[in-house]
Amino acid sequence: MIDRYKTPEIDAIFSDVAKFSRYLEIELLVVDALAKMGVASSNDASSCRSKAPVVDVALVQAIGERELVTNHDVAAFVDVIQARIADPSAKWIHYGLTSSDVVDTAWCWMMRDAADVIITELSLLIQDASALARRHKDTVMIGRTHGIHAEPTTFGAKVALWAMQLDRDRIRLRDAREMIAVCKLSGAVGTYSNISPDVERHVGAALQLKPVPATQVVSRDRHAQFLWACSSLASTIEMIAVELRHLQRTEVNEVREGFRAGQKGSSAMPHKRNPISAETLTGLSRVVKANAGVGADNVALWHERDISHSSAERIVIPDSSTLSHYMVRRLRSLLNSLEVDTESMKRNLDSTRGLVFSQAVLLALVDQGMNRDDAYRVVQEASKRSWEKGTSLRDEILADPLVKVPVAVIDSAFDVRRAIDGAQLIVNALDTIQS
């Protein structure tokens, strides 16, 4: 991942130093298990652990140099580790294992930890969105369908629905975390022919990973589920970002992204304040969604294994994890600095002079005994006159000779409080979100 979108928490999981540190710990845990079983001695296990090198940038570089000879990254890793231990006990490093035992267990370990980081940040985003929704539970605005004014709603209801969708993404991520929190140390083609299942159980217990049946590799439907959960989260963030971009348009002007002192919206036009965070989130979502397709393609491998998945996973798993975390954090910043222009919301609501209450008027006429189709035509024609003449829908309805309804009934149909009270039910549903 390019530095621009890295987060230190995720980078600490997927960096080369972190990856090889996990490889080494898996190898050492295997030796511990072999000693526990009496295959290796306790002195061998102690010697391997005490003499094992610190994994740092220099060690990673040494592994890279060795790979130029072996043309195999795990073989290079094993060679370098054994050489650094420099003791007969080093023969137990990688004993009975195949590369995928180490690599797949490490991948699952890394993805589980990445999921935890993303879920922690997502929980904070859900709290922030919920607080914003409650703060604006009575902030009335126009609802739009097909981009056209529909009926009144509240900004709080809009944001509450975002928070609830983010919570569903959190559920999906938690499910994916459980699906990926597994390990596999069953040797070539997964038959335990050269290594005992006790080794797998020992390593799994130490790393809090569940041993699972496998071929030579962990089934990639698990990885695909993780990438899909990241994709779903990215889609939700994109949905929110696109809505905020629309609401910030000059002719709408209902919300604005925060603008720091010294910030420039355009290199050419000093007046510009652009929705840069929302646009960035929209673009990054495309990458995460595309990566989910790669995850699905990686499920179909040849026989007990091939490595067609490997090259792609080195890119898409760290990148999707990084971008998911970055996007959640960027959206938190956006929402926490968001400027909500309640006056613009009211002006936009009032701009059609009551047309947005047409359904309430229709139902009021029906309630007073008018045939529905007749009532529909009356309101439709009155709306047309209101639009063309620049008059209010209320006045056009009351002036229509076909309307024989008390004024108080018509006035009630134009009461925005009805929408606010109804939208409050949506905000109240935030109470059902489990932390």
For the annotated catalytic residues, the residue numbers are: 146, 266
Rounded alpha-carbon distances, angstroms, from residue 14 to 109, 288, 291, 321, 394: 10, 17, 17, 9, 63
Name which of 125, 34, 128, 155 is nearest 324 in CA terms. 125
User: Distance between terminal CA atoms of the chain?
Assistant: 30
Report the SS3 class of residue 38.
coil
How do 339-340 and 255-256 pair as beta strands?
antiparallel
Alpha-carbon distances, residue 242 vs 27, 45, 128, 279, 285 (angstroms): 47, 56, 19, 8, 11
Structure tokens at 182: 């597994």
Q: What is the CA radius of gyration of the chain?
A: 30
CB 49 within 8 A of CB 87: no
- Report CA dihedral (167, 172, 177, 182) to the nearest 10 degrees: 160
Residue 271 has phi, psi (to 5 degrees) of -80, -10
Beta-bridge mates of residue 140? 154
Secondary structure (DSSP) of 172-199: HHHHHHHHH-EE----GGGS-SSS-HHH
Q: Report the Cα 314 to chain-centroid distance in Å.
A: 20
- Residue 131 has which token pair? 């607080």
* Cβ(158)–Cβ(361) below 8 Å: no
**Tokens read off for 370:** 């008018």
Which pair of structure tokens corresponds to residue 266? 């355009």
Report yes or no: 289 and 234 within 8 Å, Cβ to Cβ: yes
Backbone dihedral angles phi then psi of residue 223, each to the nearest 5 degrees: -65, -40
